[in-house]
Every structure is written in C-alpha cells, then in structure tokens.
C-alpha cells in the first residue's frame, strides 16, 4: 500500500469550495470558474511545498511503488467536486498501470458519472440526489491526522510484507 498526496485548490473567497486540485505531478483546474491565473499558480506552488514535506514524512527516502502494469485501487472517503480524485487519477495514469479501480462510498450523481469514464472500474455505493457534503453520510467525520494515517499504512505494509 502507498499514499498518493493530492490537495484541493480552494476558491480565494471560500477555501472549502474546490476550484481544482494538485498533486506533485498533476493538476486539475475547473476553468469554468473565473479565477486569476496568478492565484492558481501561487496556490499550486504553496500546496506542492506542503505535499513535498508530507511525502518525506510518509516515505522518507523510499521511492514510490512501481505502478506500471499493476492493478491500482484508489480508495477515498467520498467525493464532492471530484477534483482531488481527478488529479490523483491523472497522476496514476502517467505511471501506466494495467488497470485503475476507484472505490468510494458516496458522491453526487454528476461527479460519479464524470469519474466513471476516467477509470477502468468505478465503485460508488451511493449517489444521492440531495448530496451536499461527504461528511453528511458519516456518524463521525473527524479528521485523520498524518500520524494516524502513517501508523495505519505502516501496519498494513508490515502485515502484507
């Protein structure tokens, strides 16, 4: 198991509204929203610095897993705009996997429809018409810290080593 680090680019007036997403090697921007290019470039640079540090935290000197000709399963806690997941999919496509599978519990119908055409297999358990946010479908949607995620990843990799 490995992590792929992506982060949304928030709208300058509302950081929760994703206008795009960025990874260390890819980006997805919603060009239908009129945002100055300078803002987007500055945010991408800022976010990539954060992601670089997080990558060092999670992997140290270890290289990312080789994905060429592998079946890659991307799991997320759910999607709203799907921009972060789209950036992740774009990044994974560049690694030439045999197959990409996305598995999520919930997302809005339109986003789920868009995502299913970007991967080989798309699994989404619920696409409610009244979708407002991922968190509304969880009893506890508390944030998982980097330390908690690191420990879970370490434990999973030790189990399957």
Q: Per-residue pLDDT for 161 more than 70?
A: no
Confidence of residue 31 (pLDDT cuts 50, 70, 90): confident
Mean pLDDT of the chain: 91
Q: Per-residue pLDDT for 33 more than 90?
A: no
Q: Is the pTM of this model over 0.85?
A: no
Residue 159 is encoded by which pair of tokens? Answer: 């189990």
Residue 147: its H or E element: helix 146-159
Class of residue 82 by CB neighbours under 10 A (exposed 0-12, middle 13-18, buried 19+):
buried
Nearest in space to 82 (alpha carbons), one of 137, 122, 140:
122
Q: What is the CA radius of gyration of the chain?
A: 16
The pLDDT of residue 85: 92
- Write the CB contacts of 80 (distance below 8 Å, at least 6 apart in sequence): 18, 107, 108, 111, 131, 133, 134
pLDDT tens, residue by residue, 107-159:
999 999 999 999 999 999 999 999 999 999 999 999 889 999 989 888 888 88
User: Average pLDDT in the 26-48 region?
Assistant: 91
Residue 51: its H or E element: helix 37-59
User: Average pLDDT in the 3-15 region?
Assistant: 90
Q: Per-residue pLDDT for 61 more than 80?
A: no
Eight-state DSSP code of residue 134: G
Using a pLDDT cut of 70, give the percent of the chain over it.
99
């Amino acid at each position: 198991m490995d992590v792929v680090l992506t982060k949304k680019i928030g709208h300058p007036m509302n950081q929760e509204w994703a206008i795009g997403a960025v990874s260390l090697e890819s980006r997805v921007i919603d060009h239908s929203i009129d945002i100055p290019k300078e803002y987007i470039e500055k945010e991408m640079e800022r976010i990539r610095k954060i992601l670089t540090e997080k990558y060092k935290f999670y992997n140290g000197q270890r290289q990312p897993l080789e994905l060429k000709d592998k079946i890659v399963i991307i799991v997320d806690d759910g999607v709203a705009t799907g921009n972060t997941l789209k950036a992740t999919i774009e990044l994974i496509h560049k690694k030439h996997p045999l197959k990409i599978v996305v598995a999520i519990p919930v997302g809005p119908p339109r986003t789920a429809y868009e995502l299913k055409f970007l991967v080989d297999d798309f699994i989404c358990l619920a696409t409610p018409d009244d979708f407002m946010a991922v968190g509304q479908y969880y009893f506890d949607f508390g944030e998982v810290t980097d330390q908690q995620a690191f420990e879970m990843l370490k434990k999973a990799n030790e189990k399957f080593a």
